[in-house]
Structure 1
Amino acid sequence: MMGDFLFSDEPQEAEKDLDLGTWKVIIVDDEPEVHAVTKLALSDFEFQNKRIEFISAYSGAQAKEVIAEHKDAAIVLLDVVMETDDAGLQVAKFIREDVKNNHIRIILRTGQPGQAPERQVIINYDINDYKSKTELTAQKLFTVIMSSLRSYRDIIAIEQSRLGLEKIITASRDIFSSHSIDQFIDGVMQQLTSILGTAEKAMYATSLVATNHPEEENNKKLIICSGAGDFEQSEGRRIEDIFNHDQLKACNEALINKSIVYKDHYLFAYCSSEFNHNAILFVSGIACQLSDTQRNLIEIFAQNVQQAFENVQLQSEIEQTQQELVFRLSEAVEQRSAETGNHVKRVAHICYVLAVGYGLSKAKAELVRLASPLHDVGKVGIPDAILNKPAKLTPQEWEVMKTHTDKGFTILKDSRREIVNTGAIIAQEHHEKWDGSGYPKGLKGEEINIFGRIVALADVYDALRHKRCYKKPWTVQDVADEINKQKGLHFDPKLVDVFNDSLEELETVLSRYPDTYSI
């Protein structure tokens, strides 16, 4: 970014020592004297505390190389007639059409205006000024350079604002699509790093965090909810335990004045909230000098980030409540069949492992994890005498038992919630078999939804490994042998391969959620 947009809160004496950069001006002319005179005339030129850096090219071909190399040049003083009569015009065309640099200001200078009539050149080429060398006195050269730099400055400012707006739109999309607090904070940090160019450390603290200390909630203590860099391991800690005296002073200043405090290489930004929750965004490792655009973007973040945080937290709370209701409903169903509720927990995590191993996206794997506990919800419609019968079911009883798939589908179908709709599919299809011999529809191969295929294997694996009213638990080897025997018959062959590769991880899931009785 150009230094003329930078400003500092430091005293005026310190500003004189700052290196604010230069304005790059490319001189393109085949006469060395023109270069020397131009540099002499502008030797003391200064605009917004920045001097001119001259770059020389002595032909159209050389000019193209220089322009391609210095894309941040502000002005090109371009001779028309050099190695050819229209060499300068070809360079102008190269700048706009080949390099696609629409920022640099092109000032044509010619000693033979008759060969390139001004009106024709202005109409046919995207140039910004046209001067005859004979009329371009030192004063007029100063004037044209000053006006061109002002134009260039404004164009860059507009471009930075446009890019900043794009970043805000992108940030809003990414941040508000987050499904967890961690994702939200990561999104904020990534976007701030993009806007500021660098950020060594970043931290977001808010009073809208549940703690184990009620007095802290009443006093609205700021608790770090997430961070990057040195703050990655600071979640849950109070800011008083993290910052030094000067940083805490700056933080309190931002809170009291509801503002943004810039100090040294860091900032504290107060984040507003319609629910009156205090929140602070801290970023370190930033440049001492920030452009107007960067500061404006930080202000926008500060104004909206807490509202976004609260929305994401509310969404997360709703999703967690939905998940808990699903598990509790599923546990109630399993308890009717004399099984512990941990069966549905194990099946859920087994499904996730199989789904990821199968190649499904994390979103799809998470969906089957959340929906799989509903696979036997239809058993609420099965009589206890059949559900808990310790002996083998009669053919008539087996036909009744098989209806739990359609009953579950009927209970869950037509929901506007993706988890419930997925649960309906799973409830109906988790007893279908790869070879078409399953029920209720006799679906075959990939006619069976992948979610149904995954739950089928997960359910059988967990059921065989645990005690039931009608059987004793099987050993790991016996279960693995049986599942491999059913490869291509009961189960999707690819899923069986995933099962074999993941068996150690699946056994870890079983040990993590044991039944109330031992195997």
Structure 2
Amino acid sequence: MSDDLLFLDESEEDVVEERSTWKVLIVDDEPEVHAVTKLALSDFVFQDKGIEFISAYTGAEAKRVFLEHDDIAIVLLDVVMETDDAGLQVAEFIRGEANNHFTRIILRTGQPGQAPEKHVIINYDINDYKSKTELTAQKLFTVVIATLRSYRDIMVIEENRKGLEKIIAASADLFSIHSLESFIDGIVQQLSSLLGGTQDAAYITSAVAGPRPIDSDPSSEFYVFTGKGDFANQEGLPLDKVLSGNQLESCRQALREQEIVYADEYLVAYCNSKNMRGSLLYLSGLPRRLTDTDKHLLEIFSQNVQIAFDNVLLTKDIEDTQREIVERLGQILEKEMGGGKHIQRMTLISEMLGREYGLSQDDIDVLKLAVPLHDVGKLKVPESILLKPGKLNEEEQEIVRSHAEFGYELLKDSRRPIIKAAALLARDHHEYWDGNGYPRGLKGEEIHIFCRITSLADVFDALHAKRCYKEAWPLDKVLDLIESQRGKQFDPLLVDILLANRDKLEAICFAYPDDLPCH
């Protein structure tokens, strides 16, 4: 008899270890209440999940448990423990300080008169109120089942909310490649939640693939773009490296037949595309058999998500094309002016200064694209003056200075943020912190931060690099001169940043050396 009981206990523990559980917290100062509750629910299973019991014997101990566990489904909470209202204080703590609005609270009391039911229900955010004497084993079972259904539905709604929140957050900037990952991740989370929750999900596309051998397996073109669960850290890996066996074959079938392939515990949805070979949505750990409604939702989703993906890729391609045009124009200008790789170095130095200064990533991106056009106005300056060795006379200096306003006039009428920023740089990158620059004599923070950064990066590289009409200055000499102009020509904070990042300056100069065809 004893051996049979031991065998049954071990078997039950093995079952619990193999599956996830519902966490139930028992809070009561009477040990026998814990024992009786666990006995009554010892064989409890709901949706193929058993119960994991956690015990607390005081209100203070219960509060500590809630700070350690954020996934407690039900708390069976005694009212009277170390104080007459200890349980009520715990209920307030759960909803207030712990900010937990998901756990279902069932108050149990052996002394109903201590906390009248009507008063407690009205004034405390609890979900049920029971006298210990009325909670027989059968009624306890019924109450727990009903409460777990409520908790389950609340968590599904919360998953939906999180998915929608990601989609909404991404929608304002949907056509940025940075938001695409958040957008897809939100939709995957939303869909898996609508299907009742899934363990793993991945969005797999050929858009990130590179060239392939002509005789390679077509499925090897497809890579994980984003995922959750087992796929959370698989981004960028090829399909045949993350799936194998029947799952991989199902993906190949979905690609061949361009359809949704359903299996007992997973599915693969083909997402059609006008611009490429399509994508795959892989979901595993399905909690139940899918209904016709579920399948219809999947069909709609698999088409719409690909449309969004295609649109973002198209927008990114347009942005990349615009960026390349600006960069190439800047390089052409620099080549005409005999500046070697001045533009590349200047852009990287400006990026470093902007980041250390605290600019947002969006501002840094605009600055990097605008920098190549900072000297576009020099198209008006004769090459004989630009490349003249030695000092310029007063008339020549005036011609050179005119390039600032000329560059601004060329660019000022654009509505594009990058070109507008380039117009500012063209005009104001020769303004001085102390007001002695040109063309408008701006000073201090009247000068846009983009222009202050570009001015410093431009002077540093112009002095440190060799030109056909001058030799390169040693780094120490350049930095000494810049330090002497701190608060005069240059923004003091930017000078401090430049001096503190000597190693980064040297790395940039080393990575982009000039190869000037001087004659």
The TM-score, its normalising length taken from structure 1, stands at: 0.71
Structure 2 distance, partners of 1:460, 1:27, is 71
Q: How many Å apart are 1:249 and its aligned residue? A: 1.0
Aligned 8 A contact 2:79 2:86 in 1: yes
Match of 1:505 in 2: 507
Structure 2 distance, partners of 1:462, 1:39, is 75
RMSD (Å), alpha carbons = 5.1
Structure 1 distance, partners of 2:81, 2:260, is 57
Aligned 8 A contact 1:26 1:76 in 2: yes
Q: Summarize the alignment of residues 33-432 of structure 1 with structure 2, pairs less than 5 Å apart.
A: 38=37, 41-53=40-52, 72-80=71-79, 86=85, 88-110=87-109, 113=112, 116-132=115-131, 135-170=134-169, 176-178=175-177, 184=180, 204-206=204-206, 211=211, 222-224=221-223, 246=246, 248-255=248-255, 256=257, 258-259=259-260, 270-273=270-273, 275=275, 277-280=277-280, 288=285, 306-331=306-331, 333-334=333-334, 337=337, 339=338, 342-356=341-355, 360-382=359-381, 393-432=392-431
Structure 2 distance, partners of 1:282, 1:344, is 45
Aligned 8 A contact 1:185 1:204 in 2: no
Match of 1:325, SS state, is helix
Indicate yes or no: 2:471 matched with 1:473. yes
Match of 2:19 in 1: 19
Aligned 8 A contact 1:60 1:82 in 2: yes
Structure 1 distance, partners of 2:199, 2:40, is 42
Greater RCO (Cα-Cα under 8 Å, separation 6 or more): 1
Q: How many Å apart are 1:251 and its aligned residue? A: 1.7
Indicate yes or no: 2:485 matched with 1:487. yes
Deviation string 1:235-263 (CA, Å, 9 cap, x unpaired) is: xxx75698656554132133335337679
Q: Paired residues, what number?
A: 486
> Does the C-alpha gap of structure 1 residues 133 and 423 become closer, same or farther in structure 2, counting only changes over 3 Å?
closer
- The residue type paired with residue 251 of structure 1 is C
- The answer for unaligned runs of 5 or more in structure 1 is 1-14
Deviation string 1:7-50 (CA, Å, 9 cap, x unpaired) is: xxxxxxxx999424245262636483x55555555555443334
Aligned 8 A contact 1:29 1:78 in 2: no
With 429-438 and 107-116 compared, the bigger mean Cα shift is at: 107-116
Structure 1 distance, partners of 2:31, 2:300, is 51
Aligned 8 A contact 2:206 2:277 in 1: yes
Q: How many Å apart are 1:274 and its aligned residue? A: 5.5
Structure 2 distance, partners of 1:73, 1:482, is 63
> Does the C-alpha gap of structure 1 residues 88 and 292 become closer, same or farther in structure 2, counting only changes over 3 Å?
farther
> Does the C-alpha gap of structure 1 residues 243 and 372 become closer, same or farther in structure 2, counting only changes over 3 Å?
same
Match of 1:12 in 2: none
With 454-463 and 222-231 compared, the bigger mean Cα shift is at: 222-231
With 41-50 and 320-329 compared, the bigger mean Cα shift is at: 41-50
Q: How many Å apart are 1:111 and its aligned residue? A: 5.2
> Does the C-alpha gap of structure 1 residues 314 and 79 become closer, same or farther in structure 2, counting only changes over 3 Å?
closer
Aligned 8 A contact 2:223 2:236 in 1: no
Q: How many Å apart are 1:480 and its aligned residue? A: 2.5
> Does the C-alpha gap of structure 1 residues 173 and 221 become closer, same or farther in structure 2, counting only changes over 3 Å?
farther
Structure 2 distance, partners of 1:61, 1:232, is 44
Aligned 8 A contact 1:209 1:223 in 2: yes
Match of 1:280, SS state, is strand
Q: How many Å apart are 1:106 and its aligned residue? A: 3.9
Structure 1 distance, partners of 2:42, 2:59, is 25
With 148-157 and 481-490 compared, the bigger mean Cα shift is at: 481-490
Structure 2 distance, partners of 1:276, 1:436, is 55
Match of 2:414, SS state, is coil
Aligned 8 A contact 2:203 2:281 in 1: yes
Indicate yes or no: 2:513 matched with 1:515. no
Structure 2 distance, partners of 1:91, 1:481, is 63
Q: How many Å apart are 1:407 and its aligned residue? A: 1.1
Structure 2 distance, partners of 1:114, 1:233, is 63
- The residue type paired with residue 466 of structure 2 is H
Match of 2:280, SS state, is strand
Q: How many Å apart are 1:427 and its aligned residue? A: 1.0
Structure 1 distance, partners of 2:454, 2:497, is 13
> Does the C-alpha gap of structure 1 residues 343 and 89 become closer, same or farther in structure 2, counting only changes over 3 Å?
closer
Aligned 8 A contact 2:411 2:423 in 1: yes
- The residue type paired with residue 317 of structure 2 is E
> Does the C-alpha gap of structure 1 residues 40 and 371 become closer, same or farther in structure 2, counting only changes over 3 Å?
closer
